[in-house]
Amino acid sequence: MEQTYVMVKPDGVQRGLVGEVISRIEKRGLKVVALRMNVIAEATAKEHYGEHAARPFFPSLIEFITSGPSVSMVVAGKNAVKVMRAINGATNPVDAAPGTIRGDFALDVGRNVVHASDSPEAAVREIAIHFKDSEIGKYSRVDEVCLY
């Protein structure tokens, strides 16, 4: 089953949206297989967002993402990477469709509530940055199990 890395960013935590985000993930049928709240270390944040190191917004992005607790998750399921990006919506909330997390809860590109890996390769890289293998659980959702 494909896995992806998802974060509720510090703004999402501070606005009390952790349950809302997890609820949307679970109701869609995706499975949370690892979960942690912590303040991400600066070095970890720089590694996570390394692709943006040369962008003008990089310093403020790192400062923000390390400014308070965030919630990190590994989310698993069929096409988890693509489906999770669709659940989050467009990067800039101005462009995010209603019904997406960003389209329903955000206005500012720098405070867009959630992150999700943008490709299966990025997911493998990001999961390894934030979780050890031993922290990723294995279980079946009832809707994955054929009972009869």
Opening angle at CA 138, ends 134 and 140, nearest 5 = 170
Q: Of 45 and 61, which CB lies nearer to ligand RTP in the complex structure?
A: 61
Measure the CA–CA gap between 44 and 32, rounded to whole angstroms.
Answer: 22
**The binder of ligand RTP chosen from 15, 79, 91, 120 (CB under 6 A):** 91
Residues in a beta bridge with 76: 3, 31
Of these partners, ligand RTP, Mg ion, none, which one is at the site of residue 61 (CB under 5 to 8 Å by kind)?
ligand RTP
- According to the binding rule CB under 6 A, does residue 59 interact with ligand RTP? no
Phi-psi region of 79 (alpha: psi -120 to 50; beta: other; left: phi over 0): left
CB of 36 to ligand RTP, least distance (A): 17
Strand (E) or helix (H) holding 63: helix 58-65
Measure the CA–CA gap between 86 and 96, rounded to whole angstroms.
Answer: 10
Q: Which stretch binds ligand RTP (CB under 6 A): 21-29, 70-78, 105-113, 130-138?
A: 105-113
Of these partners, ligand RTP, Mg ion, none, which one is at the site of residue 42 (CB under 5 to 8 Å by kind)?
none
* Residue ranges binding Mg ion (CB under 5 A): 118
In eight-state DSSP terms, residue 25 is H
Q: Of 36 and 52, which CB lies nearer to ligand RTP in the complex structure?
A: 52
Residues near ligand RTP (CB under 6 A) are 52, 57, 61, 91, 109-110, 112, 115-116, 118
